[in-house]
Amino acid sequence: MGACGDRCEVLCQQTGDALATCRPEGMSWADVGARSRANFVSGCRADWDRARLELSSGELSAALDVCDDTSEVIDELTCEELISIYVDP
């Protein structure tokens, strides 16, 4: 797994990797709004790039801290928990 970019970009990569590992047989990447793992990661990073432009310096620092905290616990989520975050029932 590559760890290039800021903490939120790294979280996008970690999340894509975790979803790829957890994805059950009947779930496609389209279920999470993507064509592939790479497309999920690039979409996540593009969303973050747009969002970060709207943040003040303090908000950006807080957002990066949240991404850092989330990166530390993403591996502790069960597959069911992770999938429930990204797939609408």
pLDDT tens across the length of the chain (89 residues): 445 679 999 999 999 999 999 998 889 999 999 999 999 999 999 999 999 999 999 999 999 999 999 999 998 999 999 999 988 76
**Cα–Cα dist 40/16, whole Å:** 6
CA distances from 55 to 16, 40, 63 (A): 24, 23, 9
Helix axes 37-53, 7-22, angle to 10 degrees: 150
Q: How far apart are CA 3 and CA 25, in angstroms?
A: 28
